[in-house]
């Protein structure tokens, strides 16, 4: 960060943030995209993305995100790493406190995305990295030829279960209902895969471990109340996501689940601050919807800046 004053600052470097960055830079706005850890967002932890148009046969999530980044660079987007601690609304300007340093801009695009939800079972935090994981692409290869479980019934759980069959001797997909929420094509693949066994109507009651890490789990059938023990060496938790919006608490209106209240036009409760991608209230969380949001937010920011200049 050589300068401290920008037209637009984008918080978050996932598909929404990068698209906003591409559009804003292409509109010749002085734009900075800030990322806390790793540019690319959720698709960096995804295997094959099959529903991003233009790539018949699919493309690996990280490869697609690298292409997004290259595209942003082409239009001169400035990016930097830093944690945004606070956003202050001063009316026509906004101040961001980033790792203790002040940056200012006329418009902010919040594209902070989501993080995987915890299961909230006793012992879970202590077993992270010792058998418990929230990312199959990151940790899957550590579980070669051993039995593992995936918890959840959505697209992420289904994709992770399928991916993990490359390594594990057996994958038990544990779901609390008798029907998956995942899209039909994934359900069909799960059914056709001999390495995946379903544990329907089941919840994780207990994690069993020794000094080496996770060794098993106790599952409870929610219909019969029966419990059974499953020997495992790995558990991948994919029970949904939570929005990363703590930094705007008290500044922007959020819904009961913490998502920033913003419609299709990405306008938040504060003029000049826009919310794009998975961190806003929306009905679909996809790369394609995040990309659409990023484009809209950048155009909204551009209009806002134009209006400020003419007021
Ligand atoms: P999700 O769709 O919200 O699914 C979460 C799953 O976890 C549900 O099956 C839910 O059960 C279960 N669950 C929630 N809390 C639980 C608990 N405490 N114990 C046990 N199970 C629990 O989350 P996601 O799969 O992470 O997906 C998030 C979003 O990203 C979705 O919109 C999804 O479509 C999208 N996504 C898309 C793709 C793709 O298009 N390729 C890939 C990944 C994710 P219930 O079903 O009973 O509620």
118-237 has the same fold as 8-115+241-309:
yes
Predicted confidence (pLDDT) at residue 1 exceeds the cutoff of 60: no
Which superfamily, per CATH, for 8-115+241-309? FAD/NAD(P)-binding domain (3.50.50.60)
Q: What is the pLDDT of residues 108-160, one digit of tens each?
A: 999 999 999 999 999 999 999 999 999 998 899 999 999 999 999 999 999 99
Q: Which of these CATH numbers, 3.20.20.150, 3.40.720.10, 3.50.50.60, 3.40.50.2300, describes 118-237?
A: 3.50.50.60
Total H helices, total E strands in the chain: 7, 19
- Ligand 1 mean position to 131 CA, how many Å? 21
Q: Who contacts 12 (Cβ-Cβ below 8 Å, separation ≥6)?
A: 33, 34, 35, 36, 41, 110, 111, 112, 113, 244, 277, 279
Q: 155 CB less than 6 Å from ligand 1?
A: yes
Catalytic residue of the set 3, 99, 138, 188: 138
- Ligand 1 mean position to 190 CA, how many Å? 15
Predicted confidence (pLDDT) at residue 278 exceeds the cutoff of 80: yes
pLDDT bin (cut points 50, 70, 90) of residue 311 is: confident
Q: What is the pTM (predicted TM-score) of this model?
A: 0.91
- Ligand 1 mean position to 241 CA, how many Å? 7
Q: What is the pLDDT of residues 56-100, one digit of tens each?
A: 999 999 999 999 999 999 999 999 999 999 999 999 999 999 999
The mean predicted confidence, pLDDT, of the chain is 96
Atom of ligand 1 nearest to the CA of 241: 26
138 is catalytic: yes
Mean pLDDT of 245-263: 97
């Amino acid at each position: 960060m050589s300068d401290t004053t920008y037209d637009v600052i984008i918080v978050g470097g996932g598909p929404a943030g990068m698209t906003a960055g591409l559009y804003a830079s292409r509109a010749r706005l002085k734009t900075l995209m800030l990322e806390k850890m790793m540019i690319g967002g959720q698709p960096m932890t995804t295997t094959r993305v099959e529903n991003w148009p233009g790539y018949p046969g699919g493309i690996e999530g990280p490869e697609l995100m690298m292409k997004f980044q290259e595209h942003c660079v082409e239009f001169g987007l400035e990016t930097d790493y830093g944690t945004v601690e606070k956003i202050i609304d001063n009316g026509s300007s906004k101040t961001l406190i980033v790792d203790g340093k002040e940056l200012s801009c006329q418009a902010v695009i919040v594209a902070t995305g989501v993080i995987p939800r915890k299961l909230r079972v006793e012992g879970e935090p202590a077993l992270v990295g010792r058998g418990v994981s929230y990312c199959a692409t990151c940790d899957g290869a550590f579980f070669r030829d051993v039995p593992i479980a995936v918890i959840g019934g959505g697209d992420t759980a289904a994709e992770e279960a399928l991916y993990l069959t490359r390594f594990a001797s057996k994958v038990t997909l544990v779901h609390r209902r008798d029907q998956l929420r995942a899209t039909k094509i994934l359900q069909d693949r799960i059914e056709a895969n001999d390495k995946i066994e379903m544990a329907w109507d089941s919840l994780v009651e207990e994690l069993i471990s020794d000094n080496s890490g996770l060794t098993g789990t106790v599952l409870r059938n929610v219909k019969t109340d029966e419990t059974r023990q499953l020997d495992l060496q790995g558990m991948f938790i994919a029970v949904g996501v939570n929005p990363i919006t703590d930094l705007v608490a008290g500044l922007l209106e959020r819904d009961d689940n913490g998502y920033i209240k913003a419609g299709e036009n990405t306008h938040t409760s504060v003029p000049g601050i826009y919310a794009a991608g998975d961190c806003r209230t929306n009905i679909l969380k996809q790369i394609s919807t995040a990309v659409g949001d990023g484009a809209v937010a950048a155009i909204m920011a551009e209009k806002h800046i134009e209006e400020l200049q003419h007021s």
